[in-house]
């Protein structure tokens, strides 16, 4: 969506956030400021997304906040709650392999893909992997694989195989999404609707009966049920406990493959290696992407056992870049980091703290906080906003306070997502929470909400000092803080002090804005 400005001079509101003197900024970063870069993208690129008018140019270089903090060309600092950046082990793997071999024809073998294939299949307990590049490619490959299996193994008549999905699932935007007003891909006999006795039935997410009805009516022709273990772009919708296991049992009963799209939810994001692990479900096909390369290179993968995977014969599927040595080397390093740094457990613990901290506010503006691990969404109550603004507006205000978040594709008005990197310092979490709490406090209609919430801004109080300390002061000392359990409790103690009625000084340098 275009920036709200004229084509020749788009409007860019720069955040009154921390400035840094970036000594290694390139000449281009200085000559091409945010305003010019936004104009160039708007003018010469398709308008695929609604953007926050923020230009990322460099990530933070300090040790403990690295990979989380980014700067714009003007030197403003932001905490990125949507992505991580430049893990040193992944940078090393990328640069080392880039000096050896980056791409080879799939007509012959390369030195890295075999290592990747062995590593990922053993880690997740599947026989084989089919490498691709993007999440949408992985989804389409999974659909193709399921149909091949249905024709060769299940005996579904050619051209009749059905792949069911759930309403508001997000599986990419690659094929005709607008024609059915849902998310793609939309191919024949693929999607959340099915004809039963002359009527169209929608497969609702988190509704076992809908799946049961469809399987009982058309089970002989259904190849697979494609589902997100937690719906991402629908608003981080967590299904009821047991939903996935019941659906899995129904699929087994009707000889239907269960495909779990773990592109957003997998790889420790929800506090488990895979989100389906929360229900102790082993899908027939698993789709992975996004974090599989830690944001360093496009890598996706389809996992399955041999009886399914070998339904695709040589020459029937491929990709020029799928399984390339550069992507394979980075992906192996990324998978090793997940295990070595125990990121599933880390995400689980920090997610509990984050959701509890928001819930403890009892803010009328916050209708609901939901998620698992470090995949979370905040649902706001528009009726309680002083100006009736939306989650998008709240994200803009968070940006003005140096925090980057975004609304989800569905329910853009009321839901915004927070998906920080898994190596997420507690200090940064405190900064994000304080910014969010301040907005939630100053943006409501209720006069009974505690006035002291309006004092929260960018300052924290530590248990140790019992004196106000600005976020910039804490940032400057972050290299001296070890983020063990005690250190994290120290930083999050500021929230406990708030609830105990301690005064938190305001930062006069940051102007307040209400929703």
SS3 content of the chain, % helix, strand, coil (to 5): 35, 15, 45
d(CA 214, CA 479): 56
The per-type count for the chain, helices as H runs and strands as E runs, is 14, 19
The H or E element that residue 28 is part of is helix 27-31
d(CA 476, CA 470): 10
H helices present in 256-367, as ranges: 306-309, 325-340, 343-359
* Residue 197 buriedness (CB in 10 A; 0-12 / 13-18 / 19+): exposed
Please give the backbone phi and psi of residue 195, each rounded to the nearest 5 degrees, phi first.
-85, 125
Structure tokens at 444: 């409501």
Structure tokens at 410: 């569905």
The H or E element that residue 485 is part of is helix 485-499
Task: With beta carbons less than 8 A apart as the criterion, state whether 214 and 196 touch.
Answer: yes
**Sole residue written with tokens 């983020």:** 483
Q: Which residues are catalytic?
A: 170, 261, 290
Cβ contacts of 65 within 8 Å, gap of 6 or more: 425, 427, 428, 475, 478
């Amino acid at each position: 969506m275009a920036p709200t400005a004229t084509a020749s001079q788009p409007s860019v509101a720069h955040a009154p956030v921390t400035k840094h003197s970036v000594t290694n900024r390139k000449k281009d970063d200085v000559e091409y400021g945010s305003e010019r870069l936004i104009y160039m993208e708007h003018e010469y690129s398709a308008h695929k997304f609604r953007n926050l008018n923020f230009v990322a140019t460099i990530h933070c270089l300090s040790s403990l906040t690295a990979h989380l903090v980014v700067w714009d060309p003007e030197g403003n600092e932001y905490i990125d709650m949507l992505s991580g950046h430049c893990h040193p082990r992944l940078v090393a793997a990328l640069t080392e392999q880039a000096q050896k071999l980056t791409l080879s024809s799939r007509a012959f073998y390369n030195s890295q893909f075999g290592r990747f294939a062995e590593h990922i299949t053993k880690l997740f307990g599947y026989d084989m992997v089919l490498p691709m590049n993007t999440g949408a490619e992985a989804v389409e490959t999974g659909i193709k694989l399921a149909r091949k299996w249905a024709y060769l193994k299940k005996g579904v008549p050619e051209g009749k195989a059905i792949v069911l999905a759930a309403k508001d699932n997000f599986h990419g935007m690659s094929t005709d999404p607008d024609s059915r007003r849902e998310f793609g891909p939309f191919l024949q006999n693929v999607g959340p609707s099915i004809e039963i006795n002359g009527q169209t039935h929608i497969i609702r997410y988190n509704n076992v009966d809908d799946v049961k009805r469809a399987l009982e009516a058309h089970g002989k022709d259904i190849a697979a049920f494609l589902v997100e273990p937690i719906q991402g772009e629908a608003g981080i919708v967590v299904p009821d406990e047991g939903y996935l296991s019941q659906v899995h049992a129904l699929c087994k009963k009707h000889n239907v493959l269960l495909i779990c799209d773990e592109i957003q939810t997998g790889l420790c994001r929800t506090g488990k290696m895979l989100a389906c692990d929360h229900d102790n479900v082993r899908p027939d096909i698993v789709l992975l992407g996004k974090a599989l390369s830690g944001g360093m290179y496009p890598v996706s993968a389809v996992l399955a056992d041999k009886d399914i995977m070998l339904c695709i014969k040589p020459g029937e599927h491929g990709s020029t870049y799928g399984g390339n040595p550069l992507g394979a080397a980075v992906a192996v390093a990324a998978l090793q980091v997940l295990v070595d740094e125990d990121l599933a457990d880390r995400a689980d613990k920090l997610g509990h703290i984050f959701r509890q901290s928001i819930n403890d506010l009892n803010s009328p503006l916050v209708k609901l906080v939901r998620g698992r691990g470090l995949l979370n969404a905040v649902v706001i109550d528009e009726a309680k906003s002083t100006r009736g603004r939306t989650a998008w507006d709240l994200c803009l205000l968070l940006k003005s306070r140096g925090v980057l978040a975004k609304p989800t594709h569905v329910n853009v008005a009321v839901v915004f997502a927070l998906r920080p990197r898994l190596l997420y310092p507690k200090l940064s979490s405190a900064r994000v929470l304080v910014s969010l709490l301040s907005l939630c406090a100053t943006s409501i209609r209720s006069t009974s909400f505690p006035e002291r919430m309006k004092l929260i801004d960018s300052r924290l109080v530590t248990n140790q000092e019992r004196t106000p300390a600005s976020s910039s002061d804490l940032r400057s000392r972050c290299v001296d803080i070890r983020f063990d359990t005690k250190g994290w409790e120290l930083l999050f103690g500021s929230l406990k002090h708030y609830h105990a009625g301690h005064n938190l000084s305001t930062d006069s340098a940051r102007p307040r804005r209400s929703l």
